[in-house]
Amino acid sequence: ENLMHISYEAGILENPKNQAPPGLYTKTQDPAKAPNSTDILEIEFKKGVPVKVTNVKDGTTHRTSLELFMYLNEVAGKHG
């Protein structure tokens, strides 16, 4: 596991009929347990590169590349 990638293979996942076990979700959560609400984000780009993300609901803003990456993954992961 690292900032850019996490993977699971072999074992229970080899059979597509099997569901992922609960302990497998470390960066996301089971979509069945995801909130039934939305997060509305505004992403600002300069020359095609994201430079700012703002959570419209609470005004949270992130600007550095690392902050954007981590925050967007956090929000996406929350929704499964």
| Cβ density class 7-26: b for 16+ within 10 Å, e for less | eeeeeeeeeeeeeeeeeeee
- Residue 58: predicted pLDDT: 95
- Residue 53: predicted pLDDT: 98
Q: 1 in a domain, yes or no?
A: no
pLDDT tens readout for residues 3-50: 777 777 777 778 888 887 877 778 888 888 899 999 999 999 999 999
Q: 44 in a domain, yes or no?
A: yes
Q: 32 in a domain, yes or no?
A: yes
Q: 19 in a domain, yes or no?
A: yes
Q: 43 in a domain, yes or no?
A: yes
Domain that holds residue 63: 11-78
* Number of structural domains in the chain: 1
Is the pTM higher than 0.85? The answer reads no
